[in-house]
Structure 1
Amino acid sequence: MYYGNIKEFSVENGTGVRVSFFVSGCRHGCKNCFSEKTWNFEYGKPYDRAAEDKIMDALKPDYMEGITILGGDPLEPENQAEVLGLIKRIRRELPEKNIWLFTGFVFEELIYDYSVNQKIGISKEVDARNTINFYEPLIKDEKSRANTEYIREILENIDVLIDGEFMEPLKNLNLKFRGSSNQRVIDVRKSLESGQAVTIEEFMN
């Protein structure tokens, strides 16, 4: 895995003062993505123990609320093993810190059991004015590439998931922690318990 940046003092990617860790590699191809250079899986530097230690050291001060992992997409299959390793180390050594993660995938496709159920995808209908007027899970045939052997454990060890691709027609600069209104700020623990996405309403207005 490669990474583009470790921002050791960040206030724009979640609540409080945080570390922002930008993972490289993304296949979503969102139009007018704010960090298109991070689509390349070899952008930046190789992720190694020194980079991980740097993140851990930056998280240690009491004023640091937590970490936000973004990209790129941390949940591309190539990134998941290293992302899980980092998350588990944070949980082990700094359990009081919260963990936010941004992804272009949606919560429903990440939790769906493809071995026993039908497959979930996303329906996007765009009207003549290029405005998306319909966006919800639906049944389709192909399995999400993000649904790997690591995904459940990643979700079980993070606090907040911001999901969904950035959609230019739904861009809104007034949104909290999101670029477009289809994206959701999800309480992961409540969502896993209920089996459906539970949003944090104070961040959805």
Structure 2
Amino acid sequence: MKFEELAYIWRGFQQSRVILTAVELGVFNKLTKPKTLKEAARSLKTSLRGTEILFKALTSIKVIKKSGKKYTNAAMANRHFVKGSPEYYGDFILWHASTWQGWSNLTEVVKTGEPLARPRDTKSLESLIMGMHNLSTKRAPELIKAIGMGGVTHALDLGGGPGTNALEMARQMDKADKVTLFDYPETLKIARRIARADGKGVKLNYKGGDFTCDSIGNSYDLIL
């Protein structure tokens, strides 16, 4: 490995932090149309100086571009970082942002051997579950088709998180009699919202609990 390659690895967190901050601030949602620095800062409610520094960094890694005095998203950013895009991954990025402080404490964890105490955080849980949905949306149809739902009348998506696969199972069943999504109650709250938004015409059953100690039910033809 050359020194330049090694340096790229240890400096990788800098580019990562730039993208995480941009997603947290909603930069890409604002740059679907060209904006000047002043227009962008006003829209984002950020300082002009801070916005300029961030935009220079984003331009250098080619996720936004500058033409004259205006900035706009690169095609890749429009595809993956703008809410509403079929290939939106912003929620998953927000979950990674929520782990930033934990990774920053790695040195102390290695010294003590003790895991980092992480309080339950509703916001980071939502980012994780929505991020899982971001990643699964395109994959679910092929996955469920490969499994095959012919003849299945009662399927269980065990620990299914956002319910993306459960929704797709229901869509592909010959008779969408029953598909049950089993996960923690707090996760199911998010899954229900996803189903209302993305599962129109599809009905799921929900069962909350911890599958390591709670009953998951029975009479399933298929458990995923």
* TM-score, normalized by the shorter chain, greater than 0.5: no
Which has the higher Rg, Structure 1 or Structure 2? 2
Q: Which bracket does the TM-score occupy, shorter chain normalised?
A: under 0.3
**Structure number having the greater strand percentage:** 1
**Structure number having the greater helix percentage:** 2
TM (norm. structure 2) is 0.21
